[in-house]
Amino acid sequence: MIVKLGGYGYSSNTYLILDKENILIDPGAGEYTEKILEEIETYTTNIDLIINTHCHYDHCSSNYILEEIFGCPTAINDREVKHLKLGDEVTVSYLFGKKLTPPKDIIPLSEIKLDFLEIIETPGHTYGSISIIYKDSLITGDTLFKYGVGRTDFPTGNFNQLKNSILKLEKIFYEKNLKFILPGHGEIGDKRAFIYAKNIL
């Protein structure tokens, strides 16, 4: 089971996966943690792991608070572990006038094995951006939205990489007969998201 949570203000969408383990994807901005926690607690009192699709402040600044509550580690692409640990400019916390407080327990994604999730590297928005397949859904972070694509003018962003990542996701989406695009912001999409994206790219 997967549930869409959050999306308050500038904070990212959050996805709660309830399966063999309970996985929280992109808990969002720290300012909205209390609201996210209320939503989580309507489904479960346990989170086993947080996964960030990338290290931007609006996706991961509540990690450390939820880590304290649930005692769970955070996993992120190996390339972005150092940025999350340091809370440096790659997290773009400066855009929000904030300082990112990192979680204490950060695990490189390469060390995580979950047989009910598939991790896909989709660089472009950041060089460590990932997408995640869960059942018939594709969680895309800020790589692909219902009506558009992620920005590439932030640190480590790359337009050509983003374009290639979206073409890669489109191929996977059809090969695996997926149905839903679960983006980092905005509404849930479907296969038409690729049409909108390619019109932009």
How many domains, the chain? 1
Length of the chain, please? 201
Taking the whole predicted model, whether its pTM rises above 0.95 is answered as yes
Residue range(s) defining the domain that contains residue 19:
2-200
Return d(Cα 169, Cα 41) in angstroms, integer.
Answer: 32
Give percent of the chain with pLDDT exceeding 90. Answer: 99
Compute CA 114 distance to the chain's CA centroid, rounded to the nearest angstrom: 16
HEC readout, the chain: CEEEEECCCCCCEEEEEECCCEEEECCCCHHHHHHHHHHHCCCCCCCCEEECCCCCHHHHCCHHHHHHHHCCCEEECHHHHHHHHHCCHHHCHHHHCCCCCCCCCEEEHHHCCCCCCEEEECCCCCCCCEEEEECCEEEEECCECCCCECCCCCCCCCHHHHHHHHHHHHHHHHHCCCCEEEECCCCCECCHHHHHHHHHC
Instruction: Write the CATH number for 118.
Output: 3.60.15.10
Compute CA 108 distance to the chain's CA centroid, rounded to the nearest angstrom: 15
pLDDT digits (tens, 9 = 90+) for 33-75: 999 999 999 999 999 999 999 999 999 999 999 999 999 999 9
What's the mean pLDDT when you consider all of the chain? 97
Token pair in block for residue 36: 């996210």
Name residues of the chain where pLDDT drops below 70: none
Residue type for position 136: D
pLDDT computed for residue 201 by the predictor: 86
Is the CB of residue 18 less than 8 Å from the CB of residue 135?
A: no
